[in-house]
Chains A and B, each alone.
Chain A
Amino acid sequence: SQTIHQWPATLVQPVGSPLSLECTVEGTSNPNLYWYRQAAGRGLQLLFYSVGIGQISSEVPQNLSASRPQDRQFILSSKKLLLSDSGFYLCAWSVPDQAGGPHEQYFGPGTRLTVT
């Protein structure tokens, strides 16, 4: 069965520091991968998605970036964190969008980031 991992689970970082969050998926190949951010008490905002190695689409302009160095690895980064970057960061995966139509997305356990 498929499993999705995220680390770290929690993170407290000062303003202006760099960020690196990692997500890995097991038990599937060539998944679509997604990064979401959820501010406290709010909805899910799609930040980036990837349909393959090195293929990244950005949904919103921000000081974050994403990379996919391996098929089942997705990394979210920032060179300098802002206070507004605080939130719950969720990675998700799905099988590729094929002729059968969209498929279910499954979320990782998330990373709770507090920027101080």
Chain B
Amino acid sequence: GENVEQHPSTLSVQEGDSAVIKCTYSDSASNYFPWYKQELGKRPQLIIDIRSNVGEKKDQRIAVTLNKTAKHFSLHITETQPEDSAVYFCAAALTGGGNKLTFGTGTQLKVEL
């Protein structure tokens, strides 16, 4: 089955700096890659996603890039703010798989003042 690896497990940046979280997947048939943000004690919230027919997608300060050949995708957060501090999870899914997501192990992002 699919396996998703996520790095780093923790990331600390200064406010205003950029943050990058990287994920690799094993199943070349995977074609959907969402990112979730989970604040302490809360539910995961979908923040951005990308499908395999595009290489990059942006939404204000966040962007996701996908390299199908290398089977990796990344989350980029620019101009980080304290409210960006949370755990971020990447995931992968493929058509016909019951819409099941395989999640990475999460990245704890801390934005320091």
Q: List residues of A whose CB falls within 8 A of some B CB.
A: 32, 34, 42-44, 46, 49, 51, 57, 90, 94-97, 99, 101-110
Number of contact residues on B: which range applies? 20 to 34
Q: How many angstroms between the C-alpha atoms of A106 and B43 in the bound complex?
A: 9
Return the CB mask of B39-52 against A: 1 if under 8 Å, else 0: 00011111001010
- B99: which A residues are within 8 A, CB to CB? 32, 49, 94-97, 102-103, 105
| Structural contact, A43 and B34, CB atoms closer than 8 A | no
Known A90-B43, A97-B96; contact A104-B49, beta-carbon cutoff 8 A? yes
Identify whether the interface residues of B are mostly helix, strand, loop, or mixed.
loop
Could you name 20 residue pairs across A and B whose Cβ atoms are closer than 8 Å? A32-B99, A34-B100, A42-B105, A42-B106, A43-B104, A44-B44, A44-B103, A46-B100, A57-B98, A90-B43, A97-B96, A101-B32, A102-B31, A102-B32, A102-B95, A102-B99, A104-B46, A105-B99, A107-B43, A108-B43
Q: How far is the CB of B86 from chain A (nearest CB, A)?
A: 13
Known A104-B34, A107-B44, A109-B43; contact A44-B89, beta-carbon cutoff 8 A? yes
Q: How far is the CB of A92 from chain B (nearest CB, A)?
A: 9
Q: How many angstroms between the C-alpha atoms of A23 and B111 in the bound complex?
A: 34
- A108: which B residues are within 8 A, CB to CB? 43
Q: How many angstroms between the C-alpha atoms of A44 and B34 in the bound complex?
A: 14
Return the CB mask of B72-113 against A: 1 if under 8 Å, else 0: 000000000000000001000111111111011110000000
Return the CB mask of B11-53 against A: 1 if under 8 Å, else 0: 0000000000000000000011010000000111110010100
- A94: which B residues are within 8 A, CB to CB? 99
